[in-house]
Amino acid sequence: MANDQVPRLHGYGVRFDPAARLYRVRNEITGEWLRQDCGELTGFGSFSDAYSAWRVFEVHKRPGEK
């Protein structure tokens, strides 16, 4: 699935995909979506799993982080 095939997911970070009923992860710096090895968007059933993946995928420091 290409980036232009996910217009319903706006913004960055962790986003809920209502059609798939999954959370998706997007890099704030590059705009790149987290994908599986086969190229499909990675989906997470829980926000906490998606947030954990996003913190690894999005590598810049946030306010308050050391």
What would the pLDDT profile of 8-54 be if each residue is shown by its tens digit?
555 568 989 999 999 999 887 788 899 999 999 999 999 999 988 98
Question: Residue 64 domain-assigned?
Answer: no
Residue-number span of the structural domain to which 24 is assigned: 3-57
Quote the pTM value: 0.70
- Checking 18-24 for CB contacts under 8 A at 24+ apart, the result is 23/47, 23/49, 23/50, 24/50
Q: What is the pLDDT of residue 10?
A: 52
Give the confidence band of 66 by pLDDT, cuts at 50, 70, 90.
low
Q: What is the pLDDT of residue 8?
A: 53
Question: Residue 63 domain-assigned?
Answer: no
> How many domains, the chain?
1
- Checking 29-36 for CB contacts under 8 A at 24+ apart, the result is 29/58, 29/60, 31/3, 33/3, 33/6
Question: Residue 18 domain-assigned?
Answer: yes
Q: What is the pLDDT of residue 1?
A: 44
Question: Residue 50 domain-assigned?
Answer: yes
